[in-house]
Structure 1
Amino acid sequence: MGKVAGVRVAATGSYVPDQIVTNEDLAALGCDSEWIVRRTGIRQRRRAADGEATSDMCYEASVRCMEKAGVTADQIDLIIVATMTPDHPTPSTGCHLQRRLGVTAPAMDVNAACAGFMYGMITAAQFIAAGNSKCALVVGADLMSRTVDPEDKKTYPLFGDAAGAMLLVADENATEGILSYQVGSEGCGGEMLCVPAGGSRTPLTPDTYAKRLQYLTMDGRNVFKWAVRLFAESAKDVLADAGVDSSELDMVVLHQANQRIIDSAVSDLNVAPEKVFVNLDRYGNTSGASIPLAIDEAVREGRMKSGDLVLMCGFGAGLAWGTALMRW
């Protein structure tokens, strides 16, 4: 548990590719449209264009965020990109983004999958609190359509491509900032969400390609059970640490993985459904982009305003999670 004062969100921005893939479009792959809606709540998702990479989506989201904040490249002094789908194993996607934006600052990637943005945001906040950054750009982005097996009819329909950005700035008047946060991991469950091949443990070979081990595998049933338990415990811990009752929350933004997980979380937390932002139906699970994409939409729709108490939680492969309560 921890807290970070003196930090404020200057602006948010997001980007989704133009191509919309509906459940009906996936019928040609043998996917059942009604099953997808009934089991997940997803009706469509976005797919990146051929030749479009994760850093391209990061760039678009970052430019929109910077324009909203009125911040120029020379003012940014830290870039953190949360992604599990980098352009290359190395250099980092953060460095690709830094070069394209024309920023002169340290840049790095964080890989905590669907919890990645929360890890990145909390890390950036700590840089600011330590006096080592005054304007940090945090981006969550994943190009999941190339990470999931098109032949996996239960997993492929769940994911989409997107990017979301947030500018965190030092502000001595932001006496609350992040009121409480928790990050954690349970590596014993790593096999439940895993890309088996492509690393030093199991390099890519003709054999691993033939076995389709370059794609994400998921034990959906057990991931669902873990996510429901994890959010209930983590949210209660963070709220208790901050001395805040769930009735005081103005907005709850969860990782957009599954509508049933979100519904269960709302029930456990005893929060009114209208205080829980959902865009899962239109974008699917966008992994590291999920939370910043949802936050940016909530802000643009006027559902989040200065002074609001916002609870955020990301959870996924690792297994890893990050939960934070922030004064907007």
Structure 2
Amino acid sequence: MTEPHFHGQAGVRIAGTGLGLPEGRLTNADLEKIMDTSDEWIVQRTGIRERRKADPDHESQVSMATKALDAALSDAGMKGSDLDLVINGTCTSDSTVPSGACRIAANVGATPAGAFDLVAACSSFVYALNVADTMVRSGRAKSVGVIGCEFLTRMMDYNDRRVSILFGDGAGAAVVTADEDTRRGCLWQMTEGDGRDWEKLYRPMDESQIPEWDKENPIRLGCVRMSGQDIYRFAVTKFGEVIASGLEATALNSEDISQFICHQSNVRILQKAMERNEIPEEKLRINIDRYGNTSAASVPIILHELRSEGKLAAGDLAMFVAFGAGLTWAANVWRV
């Protein structure tokens, strides 16, 4: 491939990553005690064995996100005051007024950096990473803190096994900075959505937000509802399409990509993506068995694991892929 050079613009580097994981765990054995399910049933359908569970009395979306961003700053050898912008990718913010991002920025000493929440469900971190790359490459910001963090277990109805078995809590963050090498950063990106199917995965807060066809759903108000088969079909189709689009747009093939860093929604979806795009197992990390679906946090958790293990070196090509409620999807090809 002939790589683009962005003359007069900065390259973009992932300078550091970090995690903010709760100590609490919710295993399949724990779920067996409170609902009609089994470890075998859950593993067969999702690949999940346990998920992290935050303590609502002592932890919050803001506290997990702060921990992750603090760790990413430390990894980058930077201080909060070095940041020009903080983006908090989440659909489970503790409040909308003020945004979680403003509180997180204050916690890490990033004032007066700009700060906002980005709500694109499971796609939020990749959406935010695309925004950060554009801001830094254009010169509008030099350093950006990008977070994916969710406190999903407080939005589950554990009387219903269809949805509640899937989700866990956690946070991951990356610090993105300008780099003299203009070849680094996004070579291609996609940030898209289609709101016509919003009701396939949503969280109603009152009766007026429930579509007529879902009025008899027993899941409590304030808890996540999902049309599982519809979302599964969307994810399998869109996953393959997005990967193929990224490879075609950059004139690459799967052998050129060091790592596919993908949202962890269901092990069967990930396996189908590998099969369809001829991706070997060592190039697409799966950790859903240990964390469950952490929505916006799943991609940065994978990113941190790969960097910590030395599996993403400077100059390597990576593809980030995510999809989620909205419906939304996002991807990029990144030279790290």
- TM class by shorter chain equals over 0.9
TM-score (normalised: structure 2): 0.92
Corresponding position of 1:327:
335
Shift of 1:231: 1.1
Alpha-carbon deviations, 1:282-303, whole Å to 9, x = none?
0000001010011101111222
The runs of 5 or more residues in structure 2 that have no matched partner are 211-215
**Counterpart in 2 of 1:10?**
15
Q: 1:75 aligns with which of 70, 75, 82?
A: 82
Partner of 1:230: 238
Unaligned runs of 5+ in 1: 203-207
- Name which of structure 1's ranges 262-271 and 192-201 shifts more when overlaid on structure 2: 192-201
Give the structure 2 partner of residue 85 of structure 1: 92
> In structure 2, what is the equivalent of residue 193 of structure 1?
201
Give the root-mean-square deviation of aligned CA atoms.
2.0
| More displaced stretch, 16-25 vs 193-202 | 193-202
Tell whether 2:46 aligns with 1:56. no
SS in structure 2 of the partner of residue 252 of structure 1: strand
The aligned length equals 322
Aligned-pair CA distance for 1:99: 1.4
Give the whole-Å Cα distance in 2 for the aligned partners of 1:158 and 1:72: 35
| Identical pairs, percent | 36
**Alpha-carbon distance in 2 for matches of 1:201, 1:212:** 13
Regions of 4+ moved over 3 Å:
2-5, 198-202
- The residue that corresponds to 2:284 in the other structure is 276
Distance 1:63 1:32 in 2: 38
Name the counterpart of 1:32.
38
Alignment of 1:9-158 (within 5 A): 9-30=14-35, 31-51=37-57, 52-104=59-111, 105-158=113-166
Conservation of the 8 A alpha-carbon contact between 1:85 and 1:143: yes
For 1:53 and 1:175, the matched residues in 2 are separated by 38
Q: What is the CA deviation profile of residues 74-120 of structure 1, one whole-angstrom value per residue up to 9, with x for unaligned ones?
A: 11110000000011121101011011112121100000000000111
CA distance in 1, matches of 2:186, 2:96: 32
With normalisation by structure 1, the TM-score equals: 0.94
**1:247 aligned residue (255, 264, 283):** 255
Taking a change above 3 Å as real, the CA distance of residues 42 and 195 of structure 1, as seen in their structure-2 partners, is same
User: Would the aligned equivalents of 2:143 and 2:175 in 1 still touch at CA under 8 Å?
Assistant: yes
Q: Secondary structure at the match of 2:255?
A: helix
How far did 1:201 drift?
Answer: 5.2
Q: Equivalent residue for 1:289?
A: 297
Q: 1:41 to 1:74 in 2, by over 3 A?
A: same
Once the 2 structures are TM-superposed, how far is the Cα of residue 176 of structure 1 from its aligned partner? 3.9
1:12 partner SS: strand
2: CA distance between counterparts of 1:152 and 1:128? 44
